[in-house]
Amino acid sequence: MKRTPVKKTVLVTGGAGFLGSHLCKALLERGDHVVCMDNLISGRLANIQDLKQDPDFDLIIHDVTEPYNFYVDEIFNLACPASPIFYQRDPIATYKTTVLGAVNALDLALRWNAKVFQASTSEVYGDPLIHPQPESYWGNVNPHGVRSCYDEGKRGAETLFFDYFRQHGVCIKIARIFNTYGPNMNVDDGRVVSNFIIQALQNEDITIYGDGKQTRSFCYVDDLIRGMLLLMDSGDSVTGPVNLGNPGEFSMIELAEKVLKIAESSSKLKYMPLPGDDPKRRKPDITLAEKLLHWEPAVPLDDGLKQTIEYFRGIL
């Protein structure tokens, strides 16, 4: 008689957040047992409302800076507020979450011989002097600015991941995630895509910080989750870091114009001061992801914005 394969137990820290909730859903769909850990600082129960009915979904309300222990096969370490407004609200907590959160995820992986994925970030490149950014670029990061709690914390987490890999042989997977957008972003997230959409839908002024010529590359959430799963499932020799993002590059003015057109909004642009250490340009070089994972984003910005605008229209 053929035995039913035992389900994998997969921990997602930050599982009630924007990316975490999409990841939990994708893991359940492929048949895993999912443990979602979140302290609900920036994650929201509404994001996982539908998943809670699934018998293979467990929710643990816990702060990742405190150690925890239970059996796992895989860990996706996503826990940390990721929007500048959120992570700068309590920068000391942000730094602790990135660094102690990484230590606790890595200790759990070591104890149970589990694979562990780190959600690193394009912020490790700081205000980059090389464009587009390849993984080999070490970055241009202010060590004591307002963004440092996140940038340096995430850099510290990468250091810890590689030291656990070299010192203890832990199987690590590091993705550097570039700006991602889609349903389940927080209404009060403060990030550019959600801000512009909410302002456009309410016919309020669109808040452009600085001259609006700074650029970002926006990846639709479904593309990103597909890339994350491919990286986790890649061979043990693939540690990363691997950039995951959409190489399409847009200025904030171009983004505003797209949102206004798709939302059929009459909002006007309003120029406001640029926040501290705001990177001028950002665009991933995804050659490595294409080569190692055969991954590239498939959703154009206009299509992803349509989906996201529909989501916000539904909840506002």
Q: Which is nearer to ligand UDP, 186 or 214 (CB)?
A: 214
Q: Which two tokens stand for residue 177?
A: 């995630």
Q: Which is nearer to ligand UDP, 33 or 154 (CB)?
A: 154
- Closest distance to ligand UDP from the beta carbon of 216 (Å): 5
Interface map 209-248 toward ligand UDP (x if CB under 6 A) = x----x-x--------------------------------
| ∠ CA 40-44-47, rounded to 5° | 145
CB 86 within 8 A of CB 190: yes
User: With binding defined as CB under 6 A, does residue 267 bind ligand UDP?
Assistant: no
Q: Which is nearer to ligand UDP, 150 or 164 (CB)?
A: 150
User: With binding defined as CB under 6 A, does residue 278 bind ligand UDP?
Assistant: yes
Amino acid found at 110? L
User: With binding defined as CB under 6 A, does residue 191 bind ligand UDP?
Assistant: yes
Options 207, 246, 265, 308; binder of ligand UDP; rule CB under 6 A: 207
Q: Which is nearer to ligand UDP, 144 or 294 (CB)?
A: 144
User: With binding defined as CB under 6 A, does residue 195 bind ligand UDP?
Assistant: yes
Which residues belong to the active site?
150
User: With binding defined as CB under 6 A, does residue 84 bind ligand UDP?
Assistant: yes
Options 23, 37, 192, 263; binder of ligand UDP; rule CB under 6 A: 192
User: With binding defined as CB under 6 A, does residue 252 bind ligand UDP?
Assistant: yes
- Closest distance to ligand UDP from the beta carbon of 177 (Å): 11
Q: Which is nearer to ligand UDP, 20 or 84 (CB)?
A: 84
Strand 33-38 versus strand 9-13 pairing type: parallel
Options 208, 238, 289, 305; binder of ligand UDP; rule CB under 6 A: 208
Binding site for ligand UDP (CB under 6 A): 83-84, 179, 191-192, 195, 207-209, 214, 216, 252, 274-275, 278
